Amino acid sequence: MDERHILHIDMDAFFASVEQSANPFLRGKPVIVGGNRTLRSIVATASYEARAFGIRTGMPLGQAFRLCPHAILVMGDTSKYADTSRRIFTFLNEISPLVEIFSIDEAFLDLTPRGCLIRDPIEAAYLIKSMIRFDFHFTCSIGIGPNKLIAKLASEMEKPDGLVWIRKKEVQGVLEKLPVDKLCGIGPHLKKRLAHIGITTCGKLRRISLKTLTKRFGIMGGRRLYQMGRGISESSVMPFFSEPLAKSMGHVHTLSHDTSDRENIETVLLMLCEKVARRLREKNFQGRVVTFVIRFSDFETLSRQHAQPHLIDRADEILKAALKIFSEMGCDHRAVRMLGVSVSNLVQGARQLDLLEEDQSKRRLTETLDEINDKYGEFTMAPAAITRSRAYEPHYDALKTKGKLTHRLETWD
């Protein structure tokens, strides 16, 4: 069988490039994208002009400005970056039906399937590069390899504006002296564990037996490391576009009895928002438009939408929008029979975008709650506004999918 050609495409200094593309005044200048202006805040990314001064992602802004006092700070605009990446990924999907979105600015593309516009990897890479340069005025780095592991490694080798092709027969030579943590999937913790047994390069990793590796790192971990040392990866390109992209995600709930009690209504609404938010996050979606539906006891049904200034996937954000629509409807006094909430205009894979510190702490809290609820059942951990409410129990029974309530979370704002 012919060698598989996998491309890994990674935008250069993505957020900064999008800013430079939107504002020609910023082009060719040291640009820092950050969350806010306090010195505690950090650099989300920096243009390559800024990197020349030593500025790096994760650096406190204060330190960055000491290195380059004339750098230009731009506040991150999450929806702008997500829109740009969606447009780029859509274009990639015209070249191959097998495109996997790996992060906000990275994708894998498999040139093996029949429906590919181009089969030659170099030709495909140049087409992608010129489209991005022409339409967006920035550059990307592309790696070509026989699998995802090698393609990703290749894209990082000549940044920015790189194009590196590692052929199957070249893999062993490239890996021989390569530090293990250059491979995607070997983070600082694993690097340390490997260093502990004297493995610092992929060449050294290749010379360790499968038996030794499985003994130290378990059956799965050992086998994975054994393959990584040889530049083998069985992970296939997971086509993001193969399922029709969900247009919206929502839930409705018919109340056990009609009510005009505001607390009761808000409790149900919050639980619906929790469910929608959980589904969004499960599928790695964020959305921009919130729709609120309400049916009154006389069966009259109203529905309104609100576009949000940025992409959302948290229950508190969805609830805020739904409550705003509800109060604008001006029908607080009427008895309600059914409530529904949905989020549409969805984007997948825009998660990395939390630049603001307050967003990051909410994100961490949300992720922790998701993990607990995944493990012990939905609503095991829920906002106190739900669990404290006297309206909670009947609706909880109707809405829960599994598990039991065991904790209350008191600190949800």
Residues 100-119 interacting with ligand TTP (rule: CB under 6 A): 104-105
Q: Is 106 a catalytic residue?
A: yes
Contact pick of 5, 7, 14, 162 for Mg ion (by CB under 5 A): 14
- Residue 10 in contact with ligand TTP, rule: CB under 6 A: yes
Q: Is residue 60 at the binding interface for ligand TTP, with CB under 6 A as the rule?
A: no
To the nearest whole angstrom, how small is the minimum distance from the Cβ of residue 355 to ligand TTP? 6
Chain-centroid distance of CA 66 in Å reads 31
Nearest to 250 by CA among 287, 199, 195: 287
Residue 70's Cβ-count burial label (10 Å; 0-12, 13-18, 19+) is exposed
> Which residues have C-beta within 8 Å of that of residue 10, sequence separation ≥ 6?
105, 106, 140, 141, 142, 143, 155, 156, 159
- 352 makes contact, choosing from ligand TTP, Mg ion, none, with CB < 5 to 8 Å by partner type, with ligand TTP
The verdict on 105 binding Mg ion (CB under 5 A) reads: yes
CB 22 within 8 A of CB 15: no
Give the 3-state secondary structure of residue 111: coil
Strands 248-259 and 336-344: antiparallel
| 31-34 vs 43-46, strand pairing mode | antiparallel
Instruction: Show contacts with ligand TTP in window 121-180 (CB under 6 A).
Output: 159-160
Least CB distance from residue 16 to ligand TTP, whole Å?
A: 6
Query: Which tokens hold the place of 237?
Result: 């390109």
- Residue 341 token pair: 């909430």
110 is an interface residue for Mg ion by CB under 5 A: no
Q: Which stretch binds ligand TTP (CB under 6 A): 11-19, 247-255, 277-285, 389-397?
A: 11-19
Residue 52 · residue 75 · CB < 8 Å: no
CA–CA separation, 121 vs 213, rounded Å? 35
| Binding flag, residue 13, ligand TTP (CB under 6 A) | yes
Tell me how far, at minimum, the Cβ of 32 lies from ligand TTP, in Å: 11
What does 160 bind: Mg ion, ligand TTP, none (CB cut-off 5 to 8 Å by kind)? ligand TTP
Residue 15 in contact with ligand TTP, rule: CB under 6 A = yes
- From the list 79, 200, 214, 352, which residue makes contact with ligand TTP (rule: CB under 6 A)? 352
- Amino acid residing at 399: L
Nearer CB in complex with ligand TTP: 12/49: 12
Least distance from C-beta 11 to Mg ion, angstroms?
5
Half-sphere exposure of 314 (CA within 13 A, CB side): 20
Whether 394 and 261 have beta carbons less than 8 Å apart is answered as no
Size of the residue set binding ligand TTP (CB under 6 A): 16
Q: Decide: is 44 part of the binding site for ligand TTP (CB under 6 A).
A: yes
Dist CA 136 CA 120 (whole Å): 24
Token pair 């029979």 is at which residue? Answer: 337
Give me the least distance between CB of 141 and Mg ion, in Å please. 8
Catalytic residues: 106
Q: Which residues lie near ligand TTP (CB under 6 A)?
A: 10-15, 44-45, 57-58, 104-105, 159-160, 352, 355
Residues within the interface to Mg ion (CB under 5 A): 10-11, 14, 105
